[in-house]
Amino acid sequence: QVKEQQKRNEEVQDMPELVRDFLDPAEFYRQVKNICGINFFCGVPDSLLKDFCAYVTANVPSSHHIITANEGSAIGLACGSYMGTGQPSLVYLQNSGLGNIVNPIMSLAAPGVYSLPMLLLIGWRGEPAALGIPFQPLPDYHDGAGQALETAKRYMETAKGPYALLVKRQTFLPYSLPKRNGDAAAG
């Protein structure tokens, strides 16, 4: 796929706005760690985030990646992780789960309550501004993703509250979980 992208880029040299790149899940993961200092990941998988979630599942120790039963539980885990480590977490969810995070966000994480920063990675469907959480779409190219993470980091450091990156369909390059011996869930 990378070669296909390069070919498309060459074909439309003077009109780069016509070319859509895709984020490499591994590179985005490295940016999340390096820019935001995030080492803990939790949430409810979403089809728009499947490639990033697959990469995290394959490359993050299970002690630092927890798939939760619901989005509110993920927010609670992220809050606890921040309180224990002083480092923000990444919570991934589909936007249909926004209703499940209202209470834990507003009663725990919100600035002015306990002020617990976390990065929300939300599959983008519908209206994201409903909760008043600052957000931006996650660009589908390396430099743009890095800039978005820098913005999120600044907000989380200054406001001490949640910040959301919204993920459109086909933002990430495909990533397949490697098969492991004796692990039926990895396939």
Quote the CA–CA distance of 100 and 102 in Å, as a whole number. 6
- Confirm whether 10 is domain-assigned: no
Q: What integer is the mean pLDDT of 84-112?
A: 94
- Confirm whether 14 is domain-assigned: no
The H or E element spanning position 91 is strand 89-94
Is the alpha carbon torsion for 47, 122, 60, 21 positive or negative?
positive
Name the DSSP letter for residue 49. G
- Confirm whether 180 is domain-assigned: no
Q: Angle formed by the axes of helices 142-159 and 25-36, to 10°?
A: 30
- Confirm whether 4 is domain-assigned: no
Instruction: Give tens-digit pLDDT for 131-163.
Output: 788 999 999 999 999 999 999 999 999 999 999
Is residue 179 within 8 A of residue 187, CB to CB? The reply is yes
- Confirm whether 93 is domain-assigned: yes
- Confirm whether 13 is domain-assigned: no
Residue type at 68 in one-letter notation: T
Task: Give the pTM.
Answer: 0.74
Q: What is the pLDDT of residue 85?
A: 98
pLDDT for residue 11 is more than 50? yes
Residue 109 belongs to a domain with what CATH number?
3.40.50.970
Least confident stretch, 21-30, 54-63, 90-99, 124-133: 124-133
- Of 79, 100, 95, 41, the C-alpha closest to 161 is 79
State the residue range of the domain holding 143.
Answer: 23-173
| Close Cβ partners of 97 (under 8 Å, ≥ 6 residues apart) | 44, 70, 71
Is residue 121 within 8 A of residue 90, CB to CB? The reply is yes
- Cα(first)–Cα(last) distance of the chain, in Å? 22
How many domains does the chain contain in total? 1
Quote the CA–CA distance of 172 and 12 in Å, as a whole number. 21
Instruction: Give tens-digit pLDDT for 26-40.
Output: 999 999 999 999 999
- Confirm whether 49 is domain-assigned: yes
**C-alpha 85: how far from its chain's center?**
19
